[in-house]
Amino acid sequence: MIFTHINSNNSKPGQIRLFHYTTFSRLLKILTDESISPANLHVAPPERPVVWFSRRLDWEPTATPALITNGQHQSLTFADLTQIDTPSRIEVNQHAAPLDWRSWRKTSGVTSRTVKGLEKSALRLNASVADWRMSFEPVTVEKWLDIELFIGGQWRGMDDPIVKSRVLVNTDPS
C-alpha cells in the first residue's frame, strides 16, 4: 500500500513546504501511477515537460482548471472548483523539485512568449512565479510527505479518517 509511509505533518521546521495542487479526480490517476508525471499539455519541443509545485499554503491559483462547455473556456474560482471537484494536493520533499522559476526558464527550452504568458497569468490570478518549483523528472511516492484534500473548508491530511476513507475507497483495486 502506497500510504504506509505517508503521515500528516511530515514537514520539518524550517523546511520549505512544496505542494503539487490538483483535483481529486486527477489525484486518483496519480495514486494509481504512484507518481506525479511531468505535464506535457501545451508543451512543444524543444521545451521539456515538468512537474509543477507551489510554496502557496492555501491554493495555487494557476492550478485551478478551466471549465470547458461547448468549446468555451470558463475561468473558475476556488469556490467554484469546490462545488465541481475536491481540491487536492500532494506535499513533497523540497528536494523533489530543484528548479525555481529562473533556473527552469534557463534549462527548459521554453520560449520567451510562453514565459511572458505564464507571468501574465500569474499576475492576473494573484499568483507569483517566485512560489513555483519544478522537476523535469517524475516525482514518485517515495518523495511524498502527505496527501491532503480540501473538505469542509480546510485542508485535511492522510491522518484524517475522512480523507483516508475517501482515498482508499477510490483506489481499492478489488
Determine, yes or no, domain membership for 88: yes
CA-based diameter of the chain, in Å? 48
For residues 54-63, give the mean pLDDT.
Answer: 95
H helices, E strands: number in the chain:
5, 11
- Note the helical H segments in the chain: 24-33, 78-84, 101-107, 112-124, 161-171
For residues 75-98, give the mean pLDDT.
Answer: 93
pLDDT of 4 higher than 80: no
Determine, yes or no, domain membership for 32: yes
Determine, yes or no, domain membership for 11: no
Q: What is the DSSP letter of 127?
A: -
Rounded CA gap, 151 and 149, in Å?
6
- Cell 507571468 found at: 119
The band of 129, judged by pLDDT with boundaries at 50, 70 and 90, is: very high
Determine, yes or no, domain membership for 10: no
Rounded CA gap, 2 and 33, in Å?
10
Determine, yes or no, domain membership for 39: yes
Determine, yes or no, domain membership for 3: no
CB distance 127 to 60 below 8 Å: yes
Q: What is the pLDDT of residue 11?
A: 56
Determine, yes or no, domain membership for 7: no
Determine, yes or no, domain membership for 5: no
Q: Which residue has the higher pLDDT, 68 or 96?
A: 96
- Cis link prior to 13 (omega < 30° from 0)? no
For residues 16-27, give the mean pLDDT.
Answer: 95
Q: How many structural domains is the chain composed of?
A: 1
CB distance 7 to 16 below 8 Å: no
Q: Which of these, 71, 80, 65, lies nearest to 26 by C-alpha position?
A: 65
Domain around 102: 19-171
Q: Which amino acid is at 2?
A: I
The interaxial angle of helices 161-171 and 24-33, nearest 10 deg, is: 60
Q: Which residue has the higher pLDDT, 77 or 144?
A: 144
